[in-house]
Structure 1
Amino acid sequence: MEIRRQNDIIAFRVQGESPVAFHARNLEVADISEELWSEMDHASDDSLQSMLSDWNTEENPDVSTHSFGKDIRALTINVTQICNLKCTYCAAGGDGTYGSAQTKINVEKTLPQLKYFLEKLPNSGTFRISFLGGEPLLYPEGIRAIANYVKLMTAGRNITPQFSIVTNGTLLTDANIELLQEIKANISVSIDGAADENDAARPMKNGKGSTETVVAGLNKLLAKKELVGSVALHGVFTASNMNVSKAYEFYRQFPADKYEFTYSVSEQNQEASDLFVREMRLIAAMAYTSGGEAALRKIGYFDGVFNALDQQRRTENFCGAGKSLLVIDARNNVFTCPWDVGNASEKVGQGTEVSSDALEKYSRQLIEQNNCQTCWARYLCGGGCMYIHKEATGSKNRKNGQFCERMRSLAGTAILYFKKSRQTDIQEEGDYGKH
């Protein structure tokens, strides 16, 4: 892919296709003429330069900004800090414990925490709970008790409770699936592809492969998919396994709602990072060829970019960590990020005591805080993941160059497919036209 840029106008081209331009600030996508494409490289035609300048300085009144408020409307709860798997890349202490094993969270201590956050909310909007572990389905009773309490506390307040869970899929029993139906959970099942890759990366603690068990449970879950919120398959990819396209082929046999592909938060391998981007481009082509936009948007990353471009909605923060999102670990400590659990220096509270001073450093928008103002992908990325930045640079607000390269490359690919999907006729607007 070839890229050219003038200020906030970025143009992309792949061999054999016409160039496409993107307005970074206004989130507009357009075809551009061959002459304008050439002009972005040579800067010799005053009239074409004026056209570029005019578009660059335009302010689109339809653009909105997704900003996280100061209300805590999302809690991630580690209902356990133990796991029945021993994943090779586990960032939760290597065994799901975050370095501090805890069989199950104390529900009696957790309910006052939930009450504390719920009482601060106005009677509107949503309140989201994400259940994590370890493996959260090792403690289904805790999940049920927490969900029932949240439903009780939001009843009659015009607050919609939403529940999600990230599970390794080995405990999708009839009883646990019934629980997930009760709470209408959005379910993310972690599986890194077919057995040859997944068993190597995600073995049981006894060393045996986990894939057969996961697939059996997943099929049982998908047979009742209409009774839960949604089902996603989620793979994590490292230098030891960059078979993203093979995983995608494996995933497609399952009628899940979404397929998610994540580059490991701890991976710092440039060759692997570049390969991940190439693999993501390959699965984008596979999806689009087989089913057009609908198939492409089953891949979570591309669906997110399409939503942002359709709604012309800027993102100023990669996530709501420390703003609208907090994390409660299995000992009822409070953190801002799921990956910070177990790190005493990142703790911002305990029980119902949350430090406003500790949260103050999260009040600024990440694009500003991370000095992303000149990046053309800033409003599609939102400043990047603070944990990934810290893993690479030692600071949550000093950027990881590999991460930024991946995000720009993937954003460019998404923009090209967005334009291909819309096929907007731009000639009526002269040499460029906007979505």
Structure 2
Amino acid sequence: MTVLLQIGRRPPDVPVQATSPLPAGPGAQVRAFRSAHGAHLFVADGSRLYDLPEATAVRLEEWLSASEGSLDELGRTLDLPLWGAPRIDGTPLAPPPLSSISLNVMQACNLSCGHCYADEGRFGGSARAMPRATAYAAVDRLLAEAAPGSDVVVGFMGGEPLLARDLVHEVVRYAVRAGATTGHRVRFAITTNLTTVRPDDAALFAEHPFTVTVSLDGDRTGHDALRRAPGGASAYDRLRAGLDTLARHGRPRHLSARVSVTPYTGRLLDILEHGIALGFDEVGFGAVVSAPDPAYEITTEAFAGFLEQMTACGERALAELSAGRAYPFGNFQTAMEQLHRGAHRPYPCGAGAGYLSASAEGGLYACHRLVDDPAFAMGSLAAGPDTATRQRHLAERHVDRQEPCRSCWARYLCGGGCYHEVSRRGRPGCDYIRGWLSFCLRAYVELGQAAPEFFEQRSAAAPLTSSASTV
């Protein structure tokens, strides 16, 4: 058996000597899959991939369906050198230094969207804006809690953050000055509906290292069906005007489109290609799992159709990229990059770890989707992050301590699912996630054979983000 591609750290040259049982069943550690180039082995710990003779793949699948055992028993039975000490051993992460913080500068919005997790930014309360002193305190807290000399990210969220544009401009200037004093390079991110962007906003985004994420729901008909603007105006027309403003007055370092998928969303491939045609650097999809109005939520049954459409988008991306043509499908590119790095993590993102979100009142929460949720309160700007609460959060939510996650082969790629969604609806999309990642494993092998230069280019062009995201 030979190493298929160098993914993550190179394994040592000796077989594993572990005798502990496979966590929650043998299928939690290894998986056989096939591509156009043959059979392969995926090892969950380390996200390692290997070529596998077909006969061995069949025996492995039989063994997994019938046996309980340890890693060394599996290795001896099938002559597979599953080597190396565990990379993830179940030990919870200690709270790391902060590396990013998001500011809910305007907990209100100029659009009305039934699928908005933030209830138009109000999070179930009243509309409000973040005072300047609170915003500056958030920057100071981030710099005080960050590792010396590290890069940090300040994100602007809402509601619609550009309703507080003066504050956004002031905070950017303040953060750049403060970061220069403390020795931190500050980057920025903003999520916006782009309906109110002005030339000076565009200039700000171009002058500083900004990632701008725009909410997009399709073409004019599809977008306006889900996003209602005041007075019956077209939210889509205003978005297009915003894109024109960026083109004329300053394009950000990275411009991405985020499509929230509901039961009312149109054909995903059409939306993807529409977004690419609009000139976005990246277009990605996210299923709406939790919304104030349940009619906008993707049900467990609907995830099957979502998987079918996502796979169709992935197949198009695979074909285009294999032919050497750009095709910025964000979900696909993220999965390819994570597999190539050998990414494996016991958490879905950095929420409550290196990333926190500040509310308008100065409370700290695990992330921007959990603002004002007391179950995910993580301290305050005045007193600082609550280390004990963060430690408890990371201990309780380690993926190997979650059910049914600990028995899933995809757990170190998924991380257990978005905390906001799991706290509201559980995990209705697990079959979708496994199906999508199964496709991505095959696609990774095939893309690596057809266009290995893709991975060289992507490693040199990683986008700016405020926190890790799931595939």
Q: 1:222–1:255: 8 Å Cα contact kept in structure 2?
A: no
Q: 1:110–1:351: 8 Å Cα contact kept in structure 2?
A: no
Q: Tell me: CA distance 1:275–1:121, structure 2 relative to 1, closer, same or farther (3 Å).
A: same
Q: 1:114–1:150: 8 Å Cα contact kept in structure 2?
A: yes
- The aligned residue for residue 344 of structure 2 is 314
- The aligned residue for residue 449 of structure 2 is 423
Distance in 2, matches of 1:107 and 1:379, equals 40
How far has the Cα of 1:414 moved from its partner?
1.0
1:162 partnered with 2:204:
no
1:239 partnered with 2:269:
no
Q: Report the residue type matching 1:83 in the other structure.
A: C
How far has the Cα of 1:270 moved from its partner?
1.9
- The aligned residue for residue 412 of structure 1 is 438
1:58 partnered with 2:83:
yes
- The aligned residue for residue 389 of structure 1 is 422
Q: 2:100–2:142: 8 Å Cα contact kept in structure 1?
A: no
- 1:97-138 deviation digits (Å, cap 9, x = unpaired): 223334421012332332233223332212111101110111
- 1:386-430 deviation digits (Å, cap 9, x = unpaired): 11111114xxxxxx1x22222211111111110001129xxxxxx
- The aligned residue for residue 431 of structure 1 is none
- The aligned residue for residue 302 of structure 1 is 332
Which of 10, 34, 45 lines up with 1:25 in the alignment?
A: 45
1:229 partnered with 2:253:
yes
Which of 108, 112, 121 lines up with 2:137 in the alignment?
A: 112
Q: 2:410–2:437: 8 Å Cα contact kept in structure 1?
A: yes
How far has the Cα of 1:291 moved from its partner?
3.3
Distance in 1, matches of 2:333 and 2:47, equals 15
Deviates more, 1:52-61 or 1:199-208: 52-61
How far has the Cα of 1:155 moved from its partner?
0.6
Deviates more, 1:304-313 or 1:30-39: 30-39
Q: Tell me: CA distance 1:173–1:112, structure 2 relative to 1, closer, same or farther (3 Å).
A: closer
- 1:42-78 deviation digits (Å, cap 9, x = unpaired): 459xxxx757744363228999999685212211111
Distance in 1, matches of 2:246 and 2:323, equals 26
- The aligned residue for residue 70 of structure 1 is 96
How far has the Cα of 1:165 moved from its partner?
0.4
Which of 372, 396, 408 lines up with 1:375 in the alignment?
A: 408
How far has the Cα of 1:273 moved from its partner?
1.2
How far has the Cα of 1:331 moved from its partner?
2.3
- The aligned residue for residue 304 of structure 2 is 274
What is the correspondence of 1:2-151 to structure 2 with a 5 Å cutoff? 8-13=29-34, 18-42=38-62, 53-55=78-80, 57-59=82-84, 69-93=95-119, 95-151=120-176
Which of 177, 188, 194 lines up with 2:213 in the alignment?
A: 188
- 1:71-106 deviation digits (Å, cap 9, x = unpaired): 12211111101111101211112x232233344210
How far has the Cα of 1:7 moved from its partner?
5.7
SS in 2 for 1:359: helix
Distance in 1, matches of 2:312 and 2:57, equals 25
Distance in 2, matches of 1:157 and 1:408, equals 43
Distance in 2, matches of 1:170 and 1:138, equals 10
- 1:154-210 deviation digits (Å, cap 9, x = unpaired): 115442211000000112221221122233311001111111211101121334331
Distance in 2, matches of 1:368 and 1:406, equals 20
SS in 2 for 1:260: strand
Distance in 2, matches of 1:361 and 1:62, equals 22
Which of 299, 309, 330 lines up with 2:360 in the alignment?
A: 330
- The aligned residue for residue 391 of structure 2 is 360
How far has the Cα of 1:299 moved from its partner?
2.0
How far has the Cα of 1:228 moved from its partner?
2.1
How far has the Cα of 1:284 moved from its partner?
0.8
How far has the Cα of 1:307 moved from its partner?
1.9
Distance in 2, matches of 1:144 and 1:52, equals 63
TM-score (norm: length of structure 1): 0.84
Q: Which runs of 5+ in 2 are unaligned?
A: 1-25, 65-73, 291-296, 451-471
Distance in 1, matches of 2:165 and 2:185, equals 22
Identity %: 22
Distance in 1, matches of 2:240 and 2:141, equals 39
TM-score (norm: length of structure 2): 0.78
Distance in 1, matches of 2:286 and 2:170, equals 31
Q: 1:296–1:303: 8 Å Cα contact kept in structure 2?
A: no
Q: Which runs of 5+ in 1 are unaligned?
A: 394-399, 425-435
SS in 1 for 2:285: strand
How far has the Cα of 1:345 moved from its partner?
4.6
